[in-house]
Amino acid sequence: MLFQINEIIATLPFSLSKKEKSVLFNAALRSLTDHHYQHCSEYKSILDALKYDRNASYSYDQFPFLPVRLFKDYKLSSINEKKIFKTMHSSGTSGQDVSKIYLDKENASLQTKVLTKIVSTVLGNKRLPMLIIDSKSTVIDRNLFTARGAGIIGFSIFGKDITYALNENMELYIEQVEDFLIRHKNEKIFIFGFTYIIWKYFVKEILTKNFKIPQIDGFLIHGGGWKKLVDEAVDNIQFKKSVYDACGIKNVINYYGMVEQTGSIFLECSEGYLHCSIFSDIIIRRNDFSICDLHEIGLVQLISLLPTSYPGHNIISEDIGEIIGIDDCKCGRLGKYFIIHGRAEKADIRGCSDTIE
């Protein structure tokens, strides 16, 4: 029987110890792997080629994983064509293939539920006035999302009076931003966007043109597009400082995630580390795919309990990361906590902020 995420949906997202989580993931990965083996012929062919034994006893770090780029080259779906409710696309530069993720209504709803559980640990359960640092044109077609559009729609469930800060030409609509901030001058504000877009079209515009906007009390959540900031010698610390200089926000929270595992994102904590929730995990692997030790840098394998309509529950990315610790972060959250160092050499350049020049 397929593992049902609803069995743990009421559990606090960062509340399971390493031992408790291992028991959960051993059972869930077996169930999900078997489900996709039976319902996705391409996945079955891959696992047969890897000599996967459905009757063997595996721990969850031994289950076969797929290279993330396979979602660019093949249609990997575990549902009937008629049940496809939404197709999500990863970002990519012009001419690159993109990942295609096929969701039925149940899986799309599950992603939203889990995203809500994770993000509400930061924002709370009350909708906040929301300023999106992007153009509304990004989300025109809700049935065919890029990672960027899907992120905007996904995080919009936490907002009210949703206002876009950029026009269709990706220019800062300063009057609209000022009007929004005046309307909500005594309230907590939620700002969302993709890292490079926030940096280039919001923060730099405000600072270089010396706009004087009201100082904002609230939260800024952002992710994706870090490579372009690194190219400009902007790290996480500099980014946060510049955001504060531009608009006064102190609570700046990075997140890490992939369109192949939408919903089970990894949020940055107060100590500056990304955290695995009870819905996801990571393993860091060497080039020979053996498992790295703590503080050893390697390829990031991502595990999610959410994908049921496509076999994206266990993938290895083209990102480089490092696990810092397990269950002992000073922020108080249980689970693995880690940092991302960037992309593997010769990997396709891809960021959730799409290609904005």
Name the packing angle between helices 105-123 and 147-155 (round to 10°): 60
Pairing of strands 218-223, 280-285: unpaired
Amino acid at 225: G
Neighbours of 219 (CB within 10 A): 21
Evaluate whether 279 touches 118 at the Cβ level (below 8 Å): yes
Structural domain 14-103+257-343, CATH architecture: 3-Layer(aba) Sandwich (3.40)
**What is the token pair recorded at 313?**
């529950």
Domain-wise residue ranges, the chain: 14-103+257-343, 111-256
- pTM, entire model: 0.91
Structural domain 111-256, CATH architecture: 3-Layer(aba) Sandwich (3.40)
Evaluate whether 246 touches 215 at the Cβ level (below 8 Å): no
Do the first three CATH levels of 14-103+257-343 and 111-256 match, i.e. the same topology? yes
Q: Give pLDDT tens digits for 249-276.
A: 999 999 999 989 999 999 999 999 999 9
In sequence order, what DSSP letters do the residues of 261-323 get, joined into one string?
Answer: GTT--EEE-TTS-EE--TTEEEEEE-TTSPBPPTT--EEEEEEES---SSS-SEEEEEEEEEE
Pairing of strands 274-275, 298-304: unpaired
Q: Give pLDDT tens digits for 75-127.
A: 999 999 999 998 888 865 444 678 899 999 999 999 999 999 999 999 999 99
The predicted structure's pLDDT at residue 203: 96
Q: Which residue has the higher pLDDT, 155 or 90?
A: 155
- Per-residue confidence band for 343, with pLDDT thresholds at 50, 70 and 90: confident
- Per-residue confidence band for 142, with pLDDT thresholds at 50, 70 and 90: low
- Per-residue confidence band for 150, with pLDDT thresholds at 50, 70 and 90: confident
Phi, psi dihedral angles at 199 (to 5 degrees): -65, -50
The predicted structure's pLDDT at residue 346: 64
Q: Give pLDDT tens digits for 204-234.
A: 999 999 998 888 999 999 998 777 777 777 8
For residues 231-246, give the mean pLDDT.
90
- Whether residue 45 is predicted with pLDDT greater than 70 in this model: the reply is yes
Neighbours of 254 (CB within 10 A): 21
- Per-residue confidence band for 322, with pLDDT thresholds at 50, 70 and 90: very high
The predicted structure's pLDDT at residue 350: 42
Question: What is the rounded distance in angstroms from the CA atom of residue 253 to the CA atom of residue 239?
Answer: 11
The predicted structure's pLDDT at residue 275: 98
**What is the token pair recorded at 131?**
């300023």
- Whether residue 141 is predicted with pLDDT greater than 70 in this model: the reply is no
The predicted structure's pLDDT at residue 1: 63
The predicted structure's pLDDT at residue 139: 84
Q: Helix-strand-coil percent breakdown of the chain, rounded to 5?
A: 35, 25, 40
Q: Give pLDDT tens digits for 160-193.
A: 999 999 999 999 999 999 999 999 999 999 999 9
Mean pLDDT across the chain = 90
| Residue whose pair of structure tokens reads 């922020």 in the numeric block | 331
Compute CA distances 338 → 17, 43, 140, 296, 341, whole Å.
16, 29, 35, 11, 10
